[in-house]
Structure 1
């Protein structure tokens, strides 16, 4: 175990990382109980580290190696001083303190292998599975930290919450992903609209793409509603873990007005604390 002072530094690093690169979750985490907040930052900082691997590589193999390093670190097999990596140190400490399932974090890393390649997402079902592994797990694990126990309704809510959150985020990031040759839009929906994945990569057929995006927005909204319904009877202690959902509805409305290929749909920064406050009252 890392010394307490070193762990404190690691958790502070995680908070700063989330503040600088995942502002919405940083704002939401600020409303969590004081004694649990830093553990949510550790989980979300880990998610950011896994998501950004694609940005730091030019070929898939270095990304595969980096993902495997994380898998080994979480499973306790990494060589070298894992505690020297602040996000790894904080995450592993959080996993140990709250007996979190290591498999959830490993599955997230396995899903992120998709990011390393330029293949299009095959189907909507595949996209929802990807969202479950990369986003639903975050809601579930933060809820586990808050509750220190399992609740089937929380698990159900997390499943839907992750799909709603991830689909919304992927639609917002469409202009960025297209420039990187990444296509997260389901190939089956694209084909039905007469669009080839390469046309998305080159920013073409924006008009035809509007129908695909409208369908995905409807799917995201449906999962948001399902998540909130499941939360209605869930452990009240777990509900703050779902505060990031506050931004899904406003982003979906912004996406409906935004061009398919950019600029990235945004919410005014001054509105976000108000949106969180209003949403928190509903939970």
Structure 2
């Protein structure tokens, strides 16, 4: 497949899993070896018991909301240091609350009202007067505990609010801007939860967040198509002579695959840029970037199916994700 200027330099991403207990352990022995690796226990009971000062119903509510609505992030959060988990659960539950507004309302006006509720909630949190809502209460605790930057929280709300319009991104830069203001902002806040203030870590977070936003857009394409919606960048579609109708009809010709290739390549480049800071980023920041495991897995799989965005294998759950995340955490890399 010919690469366009956007996607030039694509090379397969590798997630190498070292032999932990001799040469070539099978799946069962691999799991047994991982259980013996040093590190914090990550059972659900231990997370609830050690995630913060005291266990509350609001704490458990955030954990369960994340587990049900954003399982991959839930798994990543389990591998954060114990003293940071409850705050991370609160932050990510806040994001889930915002993310599900768009799909849960039938009218934009209702969505705007809910966004306004969260804007007011954030203001009240910073005045030590959070509403009696589980996520709001836990987010208030996180803000107090880690002195989280209000600007990042408001950016997430503002960008989600603008995204209530069912319009495709005009270009890849518009998609990246959305990802920066949502996914990257979440990572900046996660770094604050971990007590990290480092320019190189921020740069890595920016690129990883953009990669996350792009991959999320790709992964959601079949779902959006089933609802007669397409959000892929229009400039890349036009460059290859592809219309929204081609995606709605699940067309699999070369031009459609070239569109996906270009978009996926942009995510690949952001991961590559993020890893270029690897030696300069504090090791304590690495747990914030564990989501690169699932990003890498998806980009590798979509390459294997020749960028067929509708291939059934792309919708299958990665059953080895918990293992891959644990190994990545143990190796202290991203």
Q: Could you list the runs of 5+ residues in structure 1 that have no partner in the other structure?
A: none
Partner of 2:322: 273
Aligned match for 1:87, one of 130, 135, 159: 135
Task: Map Cα deviations across residues 187-236 of structure 1 (whole Å, 9 max, x no partner).
Answer: 11111111233543x23543222111111111111111211222321122
Partner of 2:286: 239
Aligned match for 2:277, one of 230, 248, 263: 230
Q: Could you list the runs of 5+ residues in structure 2 that have no partner in the other structure?
A: 1-52
Which TM-score applies when normalising by structure 2? Answer: 0.76
Partner of 1:131: 179
Partner of 2:198: 151
CA distance in 1, matches of 2:229, 2:137: 31
CA separation of 1:266 and 1:199: change in aligned 2, threshold 3 A: closer
Q: Does 2:122 correspond to 1:122?
A: no
8 Å CA contact retained: 2:283, 2:332: no
Please report how far the alpha carbon of residue 130 of structure 1 lies from its aligned counterpart in structure 2 after TM superposition: 0.4
CA separation of 1:268 and 1:261: change in aligned 2, threshold 3 A: closer
CA separation of 1:33 and 1:63: change in aligned 2, threshold 3 A: same
CA distance in 2, matches of 1:211, 1:123: 15
Partner of 1:203: 249
Task: Map Cα deviations across residues 108-144 of structure 1 (whole Å, 9 max, x no partner).
Answer: 1111124322211111111100011111111111111
CA distance in 2, matches of 1:39, 1:120: 33
Please report how far the alpha carbon of residue 77 of structure 1 lies from its aligned counterpart in structure 2 after TM superposition: 8.3
Please report how far the alpha carbon of residue 162 of structure 1 lies from its aligned counterpart in structure 2 after TM superposition: 0.4
Partner of 2:5: none
CA separation of 1:237 and 1:125: change in aligned 2, threshold 3 A: same
CA distance in 2, matches of 1:59, 1:126: 24
C-alpha RMSD of matched pairs (Å): 2.2
Aligned residues: 275
CA separation of 1:114 and 1:265: change in aligned 2, threshold 3 A: farther
8 Å CA contact retained: 2:63, 2:89: yes
Q: Does 2:189 correspond to 1:141?
A: yes
Higher helix proportion: 1
Which TM-score applies when normalising by structure 1? Answer: 0.89
Please report how far the alpha carbon of residue 179 of structure 1 lies from its aligned counterpart in structure 2 after TM superposition: 2.7
Partner of 1:248: 295
- 1:89 is paired with a residue of what secondary structure? helix
CA separation of 1:181 and 1:114: change in aligned 2, threshold 3 A: farther
